[in-house]
């Protein structure tokens, strides 16, 4: 049985562990590092809690790294890595070369899951892609394998967009409540409208532009709203926000700041 370890057990690791535990059939052995949410989750789910990180690493095959980015290299340095180990880093902005140096001779891959892993609904980007890890990530949602690290950094902007979309959903809920809807109905409507929009584009074969054109009929409500958003430069603002996040990932400052 594959032995999986989590080094750094905070918000993201908790979501991933909950995702793994949704189906306990053929579940690999899971062990957790001792800090953060580790003791609480080990007790709640009956998982192994390591006393120290060196014991955690020596007793495992695949190690998920989910410390804050600025703690990542210190956390994996001077541990008993073997060539058979796979280190899977979820730490935003921490480059492969630094991880490989600190965890030599282990093989290293980078992933970027979302907290929707807890629901089995996280699109998880990966580079490079190791076949041993793919089935594990697939338990958390669709896996998107990328071809190089530059593509991976671009794709990591989506992890920030995930939060912006939740913020937009909150805005939509607040607007609907201010205009008379009940908070629960407004929350469900705002959230499931985003889910519906995403599913149409993810699951239908038509080009995105065709799907939008089908909605934005001349003189209709979608067209009117898109025009107002354009007057407020919302599309430019969105692109500028994506550019700013990518720049932060590329200049290394995402790795220094949590």
Ligand X SMILES: NC(=O)c1ccc[n+]([C@@H]2O[C@H](COP(=O)([O-])OP(=O)(O)OC[C@H]3O[C@@H](n4cnc5c(N)ncnc54)[C@H](OP(=O)(O)O)[C@@H]3O)[C@@H](O)[C@H]2O)c1
Residues that bind ligand X (CB under 6 A): 7-13, 33, 35-36, 53, 66-69, 71, 75, 90-92, 112-115, 159
Instruction: Closer to ligand X by CB, 17 or 112: give it.
Output: 112
Which residue, 8 or 86, is less far from ligand X as judged by CB? 8
Give yes or no for a contact between 63 and 88, defined as CB atoms under 8 angstroms apart. Answer: yes
Q: State the minimum distance, in angstroms, from the CB of residue 95 to ligand X.
A: 13
Residue 80 or 183 with smaller CB distance to ligand X: 80
Number of Cβ within a 10 Å radius of residue 25: 4
Nearest distance in Å: CB 5, ligand X: 11
Cα 26 from Cα 106, distance rounded (Å): 25
Write down the least CB distance from residue 25 to ligand X, Å: 26
Residue nearer to ligand X on the CB measure, 30 or 75: 75
In whole angstroms, the minimum distance from the beta carbon of 83 to ligand X comes to 23
Cβ closest to ligand X, residue 82 vs residue 256 = 256
Q: How far is the CB of 46 from ligand X (least distance, A)?
A: 20
Residue 53 CB, nearest approach to ligand X (Å): 5
Of residues 9 and 186, the one with the C-beta less far from ligand X: 9
């Amino acid at each position: 049985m594959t032995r999986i370890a989590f080094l750094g057990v905070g918000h993201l690791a908790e979501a991933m562990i909950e995702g793994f535990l949704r189906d306990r059939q053929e579940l690999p052995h899971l062990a957790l590092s001792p800090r953060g949410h580790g003791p609480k989750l080990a007790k709640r789910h009956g998982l192994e809690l390591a006393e120290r990180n060196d014991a955690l690493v020596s007793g495992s095959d695949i190690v998920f790294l989910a410390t804050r980015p600025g703690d990542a290299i210190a956390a994996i340095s001077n541990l008993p890595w073997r060539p058979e180990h796979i280190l899977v880093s979820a730490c935003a902005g921490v480059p492969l070369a630094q991880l490989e140096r600190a965890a030599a001779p282990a093989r290293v891959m980078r992933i970027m899951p979302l907290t929707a892993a807890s629901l089995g609904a996280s699109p998880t980007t990966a580079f490079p892609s190791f076949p041993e890890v793919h089935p594990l990530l697939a338990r958390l949602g669709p896996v998107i394998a990328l071809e190089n690290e530059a593509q991976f950094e671009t794709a990591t902007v989506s992890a920030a967009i995930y939060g912006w979309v939740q913020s937009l959903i909150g805005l939509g809920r607040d607007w609907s409540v201010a205009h008379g809807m009940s908070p629960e109905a407004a929350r469900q409507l705002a959230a499931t409208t985003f889910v519906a929009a995403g599913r149409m584009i993810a699951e239908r074969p038509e080009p995105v532009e065709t799907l939008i054109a089908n909605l934005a009929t001349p003189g209709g409500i979608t067209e009117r709203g898109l025009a107002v958003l354009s007057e407020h430069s919302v599309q430019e603002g969105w692109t500028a926000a994506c550019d700013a996040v990518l720049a932060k990932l590329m200049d290394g400052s995402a790795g220094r700041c949590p």
